[in-house]
């Protein structure tokens, strides 16, 4: 009797898997290179908002001591649109640059490149950045419908910090996967 119950239990578990049903563990994965270095901008995994969507934080690492001043950041985030989709926010804002003009859009309306510009208005002083990790902006990406893929990079291109003192560099991006 016990053997029959074990067989039925095993069969009940194996049958759905044989027809492609999973245990629900499939989700968008994210891998970054850790904290942003001093005076560098990096992408950081901000956390899953659901099983197919990941928040990607753009983080500015403050200096080891003292402060860095910066008026704004301009950069593109590139990705493979066959695997990943950009999810526009209802409203883009920056906690680090609260008075800044923030523009986030797809390049020429085409997937594969998100163009970001964050700039303080002309009459305002530059932002003072102290030690620590500072989230500049959060972007969201989701897997393209029906895709399964290994690590796929999100990368910075055309990156610059406006009127930064000392200079601010842009580090490597991160990778998303869905398996």
Paired tokens of 108: 């020429």
Q: Is residue 162 part of a domain?
A: yes
Looking at residue 26, what is its pLDDT? 77
Domain count, the chain: 1
Full domain range(s) for residue 95: 25-178
Q: Is residue 12 part of a domain?
A: no
Any idea how long the chain is? 179
Q: Which domain CATH number covers 87?
A: 2.60.40.680
Q: What mean pLDDT do residues 10-38 have?
A: 61
51-63 pLDDT, tens digit per residue, is 999 999 999 999 9
Please name which of 99, 96, 83, 87 lies closest in space to residue 130, comparing C-alpha atoms: 96
Q: Is residue 18 part of a domain?
A: no
Q: Is residue 134 part of a domain?
A: yes
Report CA-CA distances (Å) from 123 to 75, 88, 104. Answer: 23, 29, 22
Residue 8 has pLDDT above 70, yes or no: no
pTM of the predicted protein model: 0.84
């Amino acid at each position: 009797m016990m053997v029959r119950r074990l067989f039925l239990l095993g069969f009940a578990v194996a049958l759905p898997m044989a027809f492609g049903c999973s245990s629900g563990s499939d989700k968008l994965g994210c891998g970054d290179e850790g904290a942003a270095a001093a005076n560098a901008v990096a992408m950081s995994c901000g956390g899953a908002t659901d099983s197919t969507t990941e928040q990607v934080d753009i983080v500015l690492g403050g200096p080891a001591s003292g402060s860095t001043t910066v008026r704004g950041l301009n950069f593109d985030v590139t990705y493979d649109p066959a695997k990943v989709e950009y999810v526009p926010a209802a409203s883009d804002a920056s906690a680090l640059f609260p008075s800044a003009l923030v523009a986030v859009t797809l390049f020429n309306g085409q997937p594969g490149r998100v163009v970001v510009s964050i700039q303080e208005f002309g009459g305002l002083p530059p932002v003072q950045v102290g030690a620590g990790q500072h989230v500049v902006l959060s972007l969201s990406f989701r897997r393209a419908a029906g895709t399964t893929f290994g690590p796929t990079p999100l990368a910075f291109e055309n990156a610059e910090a406006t009127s930064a003192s000392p200079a601010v560099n842009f580090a490597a991006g991160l990778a998303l996967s869905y398996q």
